Structure 1
Amino acid sequence: MAHQHNHTEGGGNRNRLLAAFIVTAVFMVAEVAGGILSGSLALLADAGHMLTDAAALLVALLAVQFAQRKPNARHTFGLLRLTTLAAFVNALALLVITVLIVWEAIRRFYQPQPVTGGLMLVIAVAGLLANLLSFWLLHRGSEEKNLNVRAAALHVLGDLLGSVGAIVAALIILFTGWTPIDPILSILVSALVLRSAWSLLKESFHELLEGSPSSINADKLKRDLTLSIAEVRNVHHVHVWQVGEKPVMTLHVQVIPPYDHDALLHRIHDYLHRNYQIDHATVQMEYQPCGGDDCDLGHSGHQHTHHHHH
């Protein structure tokens, strides 16, 4: 395998994701078995984490598949939004698992369970190695800023810490026999899961609500465009949102009637591409100030309310 970057839009990503998925799924099963046999909740917490890892990887795999499908008349963006929805569902699943583990941990403080430290240690170390392997696989693919690959890598990172927690608990049980350390560390592992789930939930929810990408400030963009291009007097009706990883934008620009309409339009597109990395912008150029109701989405239509006589 020479160092070739096959940028057939996610081909390399797919193989890495698939490998990481297989590693994670196999070790998740091992951790569940180990957790049940040794009676360790920290292992089960880590396995729960690995389950969501495997789900995250599966989602990312599907996303890569969907991203390769061509847009059609019904889905003009292709199915890229599915990836965002998948990240969102994934984050919700993480939250549910966290609650279950914490609930069980609290129960175990009241009724301590016997834990086999030796078996627990072996499984935890194996889990750590599996995580290192899948993290390495994913991180070679992280130059593509893909929300799902990032989500998956985030999970695996949290999972690394989870395995470390299980190892620590196993060592303490082996040397001191103090079993409450097991539920204590399972709660810590859950806190890690919670943190990654929360940020993922926020990010994907924002995208589902057509929020503008965090890197783009619409007000600043309006000012910059007016200042940078002499013919542009006013920029309004600006909408920026994100589909998959691509920012998409529509805007109205009021301009001084140019000598060459297309050249000015080209300069505006070029400016957006250079300064904001927006490749897909729809620009409506106007010579008069915009006077219609349609200039302000969300505020139009309220003047029609008095027609409804009962």
Structure 2
Amino acid sequence: MNIKSSALVLRSGRQELLGHLLRIVKVRNEGALSLAMLHTCWNISVKRGKERRGMFSPTTITRQLEELNLIKCSLLNDEHIALTDSGQWEALLQNSEDVSALPTPDSALRFQVKCENVPIWFEVNVPDDYGAQESNGLALDGIVSVRGDQITRSEQEGWQRIVKQSSEELGESEYPIFELLVTHLLPQLHASRASDTLDPSNSSQAPELILDMTYHALLTSHHLISPTKRRSLQQWSSQLAVSGFAKVGYPGVIYCQGSQSGVEQFVANVKAMQWLALRLRFVEPPVDDIVEGERKWIELEKVGEVVQEMRRLGRERYVVEMGIGSAGT
């Protein structure tokens, strides 16, 4: 139901209310309902109608859909998002370019984010006014809650503390729910799964990954020019102990390898930035032998250099099969 239709329904309801009250006055004729009382009833009806229409505005709906799309596009292969309660939000998500063409949802946005083979997930209940200026400063630990299959109280309390601590570390953010989930909570959930410590209550720190499994990942984009992005890639490679390269210019190519947690966090960091046509080609354990060498991060300028570097690593087919260069390059 659009805004115009909602207004017509509300107007019709007010007329029925006044007609009913006037009939009571006429029948009883006892003065129990004075004109002043009728005026009061009218004002209550108007106020409630305004409150109902004010639950959602095109601005807040669009803003919430933007963040929902950002979360959805940033999830890894074993991460999933599911909307709950209202099919109206699913319809809005599919037609997010023109939300005015669809009915205003009758319930708040609510969704779950899960990882495969992990009995704990995050449930997000988005306030109606989330995305409006006055909603800045909301406590995210009251929006994002922890749920699970057969989860113990200590596990839930421990994870809820992590949610609170992580939300306090965000500071100013244009997309706080996205940043909390994608750059903080999901990496920690993966780490806890790998180390088999889903109960963080015994530690004051977030669960840390204790695993030597090697992963690698390949991403491509329309271009990679920004000095800020290039510096960030270099810093992340050092912080997360991953090696690899970035091919600058057109197209942009990013390849990294390291521990599972390091590579997955590196990929999450990359996806959290603004890109044109960013594609995650894969993030997985390599099926071939690892070529050991000095851990470093380098920049390349030509597609041919990408093929040569992947050939040196014994991974040439990963780029050639995806149309990046050719075997004879």
Higher strand share: 2
TM-score where L is the length of structure 2: 0.24
Report which structure shows greater RCO (CA 8 Å, sep ≥6). 1
TM-score where L is the length of structure 1: 0.25
Higher helix share: 1
